[in-house]
Amino acid sequence: QLERMLEVRLFDRTQRRVALTAAGEALLPDVRDLLARAQALPARARAAAAGEVGRVRLAFVSTIGFEQLPLWVRDFRALCPQVALELVEATGDVQLEALARGEIDAGLMLHSPGFAPPGLDRLAVAAEPLVLALPEAHPLAGAIRPALADVLAEPLVIFPRRILPSLHDAIHGLYHAAGRVPRVAQEAIQMQTIVNLVWGGIGVAWVPESVTRFRREGVAYRGAAAFAGGRAARSKDGRAASAIALPDCETSLVWPAERDNQALARFVRFVRDRAATPQVCSGMP
């Protein structure tokens, strides 16, 4: 049948034996390769269905504090070596646009609680409070209990609203609740840049607590509980919380709710297993 299809004689046949022709010998390596591929198909199909073969394009925000990503990448690649896990650095707004266009499969981004982008699912993997970064030589850095009013009077270094709109609005809301308008001295995208601007005396900044691990000499950090004044708040467990009612900064894995990518589903399961306190939240359709 193969000979008829190719219109080439592949075998010399006699009553005593069958031998390959020169054309048959030439095709033998390809035939063996095809047979091996055919035999491997069932296993490859099962691996693909289990998400152990494929590609995951993951975007992430380059925050200092989230230390799990390198470990996740290392361990997932070891667990699923046939899944190409491709990393792309991007801010949250760029990630959302790329997800909508199908240019990435998932994103790891910062946001405030209640974040629910339309058509996306998310898995919260970390949460941390905001703290105030200020020059080490600033009088408020050494004060035992500085007044909130004095803090709010300082020039502010902050990220643009398009980068983290919910956190940006929460910080502005703190000022407005106290009858103040933030004196925005400078906007910056990267947390490292924000801290460097604080070091240079441009202003103070509200940053995720993990940024304190960025050892910038000349910069001090104060937790919200350090400031006096303002309206008292209560934490979720009912204990007295800081007078400064700022939301936590959360890190979440975000991916399209309707996308048939078994490798992505496998990665989400992996992250869910690795996250300390995971919580899955579905966005509105």
User: Tens digits of per-residue pLDDT, 180-204?
Assistant: 999 999 999 888 899 999 999 999 9
Domains in the chain (CATH in brackets) are 2-49 (no CATH), 54-128+250-282 (3.40.190.10), 130-226 (3.40.190.10)
pLDDT digits (tens, 9 = 90+) for 250-271: 889 999 998 788 999 999 999 9
Average pLDDT of span 22-28: 79
Picking from 270, 220, 251, 277, the residue whose alpha carbon sits closest to that of residue 63 is 251
Q: What share of the chain is helix, strand, coil (3-state, %, to 5)?
A: 40, 25, 35
Which range has the top average pLDDT, 13-27, 227-241, 271-285?
13-27
d(CA 19, CA 11): 5
Q: Is the pLDDT at 116 greater than 50, yes or no?
A: yes
Range with the lowest mean pLDDT among 19-28, 158-167, 177-186? 19-28
d(CA 231, CA 246): 11
Q: 3-class DSSP state for residue 10?
A: coil
d(CA 165, CA 156): 16
0.75 cut: is pTM over it? no
d(CA 129, CA 249): 6
pLDDT band (50, 70, 90) for residue 97: very high
